[in-house]
Amino acid sequence: MNQRFEADYLIETALDPRRAAETMAGEQSSGTFLRLAGETDALKLRAAARVESLEELEARPAPSLPGAAGDCGQGWRRARVTLSWPLDTIGPSLPNLMSTVAGNLFELHAFSGLRLTDIRLPPAFAAAGPGPRFGIEGTRRLAGVGAGPLIGTIVKPSVGLSPAATADLVATLAGAGIDFIKDDELQSDGPACPFEDRARAVMRVINDHSDKTGKKVMFAFNLTGEVDEMRRRHDLIRDLGGTCVMVNLNSVGVSGFLALSRHAELPIHAHRNGWGYLSRHPALGWSYTAWSKIWRLAGADHMHVNGLANKFCEEDDSVIRSARAQLTPLWSDNPCIAMPVFSSAQTVLQPPETFRQLGSADLIYAAGGGILGHPDGPAAGVESLRAAWAAAMAGADLDDWARSHPPLARALAQARGITS
Amino acid sequence: MNQRFEADYLIETALDPRRAAETMAGEQSSGTFLRLAGETDALKLRAAARVESLEELEARPAPSLPGAAGDCGQGWRRARVTLSWPLDTIGPSLPNLMSTVAGNLFELHAFSGLRLTDIRLPPAFAAAGPGPRFGIEGTRRLAGVGAGPLIGTIVKPSVGLSPAATADLVATLAGAGIDFIKDDELQSDGPACPFEDRARAVMRVINDHSDKTGKKVMFAFNLTGEVDEMRRRHDLIRDLGGTCVMVNLNSVGVSGFLALSRHAELPIHAHRNGWGYLSRHPALGWSYTAWSKIWRLAGADHMHVNGLANKFCEEDDSVIRSARAQLTPLWSDNPCIAMPVFSSAQTVLQPPETFRQLGSADLIYAAGGGILGHPDGPAAGVESLRAAWAAAMAGADLDDWARSHPPLARALAQARGITS
């Protein structure tokens, strides 16, 4: 096995960036702070990480993070660095990939900034995870949506509804023609709304609606929990005729997720809550492109990407970059494409720009207030969002389109009132 | 179930901190950006998070993190905030605790800084994990070390050694009288050094040494991997007579870890690599006190805390705070004490100050160069570290002590040469 895997970083250091990059490579492979007898040249050649490339960027006058080794009078130098490792050292294992590309190196004294921006894995890594087994096509098939985004929403209030109240809300939304509904990430299996009770109540409504109309709403049941719990809940949803389960990625971790995904027979809706602590500082942590590759390979079918003009602090460029990454193949023969999920303060206003920038409508578009809060009711809410996306995909002006689509016209007026 | 759990945060905001804290409480419980029909007062009373306390700190002139809602001319106000949630919403579940106390809130527009500093859980949470089943007492028993720290080391080079070469190194270290050895976190089960081959080779040496001397060296085998792999590797180590396994926490995640720990019959040595991306910025992410409580409850017996004067960028105060936290009970009747592991550039120089500040020698003290690099060989290296700890525990001056302990004298001279 002669293959190597690579990771790209943004680094910031008071040292010579080349020397700092060599420190990273040493720390994350054969090195230690002393050169030991056992670390022969032959061993290094076989096992060491290599600095594949380094491109210096503009320096900064002050360090981005505290605790780095002192300023040498040349400012804090920044660079893009690519390291590579022999696959022979870890084999195709996602948990061990994590330790290698994102282990101790963020704490190294040499750095006042260190962010993992991308990873590239050899095809042998396809064995490291099942990949998305439904992805865009499988999701469209199960949801019965041939083109355009799945119009979706989230059960709100996030917590506090009983199983029966949740099912009532689902009945309203199904009646309104919605394609997709998800549990809130805070709702899983508390005594106030036990998973099994909620699943049975909700699936009764969804199955009834499907029997009557032929349309089965896709509901992503949040089964976040321990491995045995998640597998048991997955089996319940499958047996009840459900078509999707949801997991909070940072709450279960890579090994827990794999234990579910290798078992799963339904699409997995992956929620990224906690993503802020991994990414909020631009000189620390993970890019979504790098991080999401691990979860896609691990089997995530739907990946959250926030949305344009969201209620969080992420900028629009970053949102689009994240969404594009999900639609970019990992390998040509094993693309591991995940369906991006847009959410957070999404209304009829964002579809044109979202479609223009992404160049695709292969996505889930989750709106809250825009559906249940539509002045003419939830059916008009769903219709207004579909119309906004139809306009976006046709390249038409929203207001022009709204002239022949009254629910869109009402929603636009409402959304502009809210956001102005 | 009428109990609540609490979390403490450090927040930074351009808003009124009280209002910002209410936003957090809303986002992480029943709220949404629109007040929906379903969010009645009764529901809020039942399910909402509460702001339990707020103490304002000195403001900062500039935001710590980018992307926060704009400055209102009062600077960036900082506060310590405590939120509480009803246990009824999530039940005693560690994965769902993660989503609740450390979910979307780090991305909220209101904050230019948000760090989780502590969590407090009601006793019902004891069901959420097995807790450390060996801890200090069980580790001392299995390692045969009644008092003082376990003197340990890490197999280095981190990667590149074959199973046979690893076993040779272990033979040397066992012969030197060491108590504890761990795999490097980068070494798990790659083709270059397969787990099973390494385990068999190393345990042969350890069992031979134990047969001859009655002392069984504790070796923490890094079994980081998928759940089934970890369980299988654990069983192999148990069957070979091994006494410890090791897991990279951030590589496997909480659910993966629980799937191992509920199955485990050996102490679990928990490695925190990746901790930097969770903690390096002081206004973002997790404190070790909060984070380690989750892993202790999940069953970690040994928790890494770095070391004084380490090679990373963590300050000594933070190291001691982390170590103290491991020795502080979670509950009086279920303390979940984990044994702190000191490592990273540790030599004979740090024991006095470590003992003085921690007030305990219930720890693992892992040194690299100080053992294999001792001028009189590894047995003198181990002896020098034991002597340094004996001096520390006796409150004696290292140099005084060294007069009757030649290996310590030599090690002091060497360490001062290296570090001066």
How do the domains of chain B map onto residue ranges? 4-128, 135-408
Looking up tokens 């009747």 gives B333
| DSSP string for residues in B139-190 | HHHHHT--SSPEEEEE-SSSS---HHHHHHHHHHHHHTT-SEEE--TT-SS-
Interchain contact, A312 vs B255, CB within 8 Å: no
Answer whether residue A420 shows pLDDT above 50: no
Interchain contact, B107 vs A280, CB within 8 Å: yes
Report the gap between the CA of A302 and the closest CA in chain B (Å): 18
Assigned superfamily of A4-128: RuBisCO large subunit, N-terminal domain (3.30.70.150)
pLDDT 10s digits, A343-364:
999 999 999 999 999 999 999 9
Question: What average pLDDT does range B270-296 have in this prediction?
Answer: 98
The whole-angstrom separation of Cα A309 and Cα A314 is: 9
DSSP code for A126 = G
Beta bridge partners of A4: A86
- B108, HSE (Cβ side, Cα atoms, 13 Å): 27
Interchain contact, B36 vs A66, CB within 8 Å: no
Contact at 8 Å (CB) between B350 and B309?
Answer: yes
- B158, HSE (Cβ side, Cα atoms, 13 Å): 22
Tell whether domain B135-408 is in CATH 3.20.20.110.
Answer: yes
Q: Which residues of A touch B312 (CB under 8 A)?
A: 104, 107-109
Pairing of strands B268-271, B218-222: unpaired
Tokens of A183: 């549990």
Please give the residue that has the higher pLDDT: either B36 or A268: A268
pLDDT 10s digits, A23-68:
999 989 887 544 555 567 788 788 899 999 999 999 999 999 998 9
Range B357-376 burial, b when 16+ CB lie within 10 A, else e: bbebbbbbbbbbbbbbbbee
Residue B4, CA distances (Å) to A48, B97, B185 in order:
50, 12, 37
pLDDT 10s digits, B106-125:
999 999 999 999 999 999 99
- What is the 3-class SS of B189-255, one letter each residue? CCCCCCHHHHHHHHHHHHHHHHHHHCCCCEEEEECCCCHHHHHHHHHHHHHCCCCCEEEEHHHHHHH
Question: What average pLDDT does range B42-58 have in this prediction?
Answer: 91
pLDDT 10s digits, B121-163:
999 999 999 999 999 999 999 999 999 999 999 999 999 999 9
Q: What angle do CA B43, B44, B48 make, to 5 degrees?
A: 125
Answer whether residue B33 shows pLDDT above 60: no
For residue B256, give the nearest of A39, A102, A254 by CB distance. Answer: A254
The amino acid at residue A175 is G
Interchain contact, B253 vs A248, CB within 8 Å: no
Of B105, B117, B110, the C-alpha closest to B80 is B117
Range B130-144 burial, b when 16+ CB lie within 10 A, else e: bbbebbbebbbebbb
Report the gap between the CA of A146 and the closest CA in chain B (Å): 31
Interchain contact, A373 vs B36, CB within 8 Å: yes
The whole-angstrom separation of Cα B242 and Cα B245 is: 8
Q: What angle do CA B37, A412, A350 make, to 5 degrees?
A: 95
Of A88, A5, A80, the C-alpha closest to A46 is A88
What's chain B's length in residues?
420
| DSSP string for residues in B273-291 | TTHHHHHSSTTEEE-HHHH
pLDDT of residue A337: 98
The whole-angstrom separation of Cα A86 and Cα A43 is: 12
The whole-angstrom separation of Cα A256 and Cα B276 is: 22
Tokens of A273: 């809550």
Beta strands in A238-393 (DSSP E): 245-248, 268-271, 284-286, 302-304, 339-342, 364-366
Q: What φ, ψ does residue A84 adopt, rounded to 5°?
A: -135, 155
Interface predicted TM-score (ipTM) of this complex, two decimals: 0.96
Q: Which of A33, A44, A104, A166 to mutate to test the interface with B (most CBs of B within 10 A)?
A: A104
The neighbour count for residue A72, using CB atoms within 10 Å, is 12
Contact at 8 Å (CB) between A390 and A401?
Answer: yes
pLDDT 10s digits, B91-105:
999 999 999 999 999
- B54, HSE (Cβ side, Cα atoms, 13 Å): 17
Q: Which of A13, A88, A96 to mutate to test the interface with B (most CBs of B within 10 A)?
A: A96
Question: What average pLDDT does range B184-195 have in this prediction?
Answer: 96
Domains A4-128 and A135-408 share a fold: no
| Coil, helix or strand at residue B101 | helix
| Coil, helix or strand at residue B112 | strand
Question: What average pLDDT does range B46-54 have in this prediction?
Answer: 94
Answer whether residue A409 shows pLDDT above 90: yes
Q: Which residues of A touch B36 (CB under 8 A)?
A: 156-157, 368-369, 372-373
pLDDT of residue A40: 75
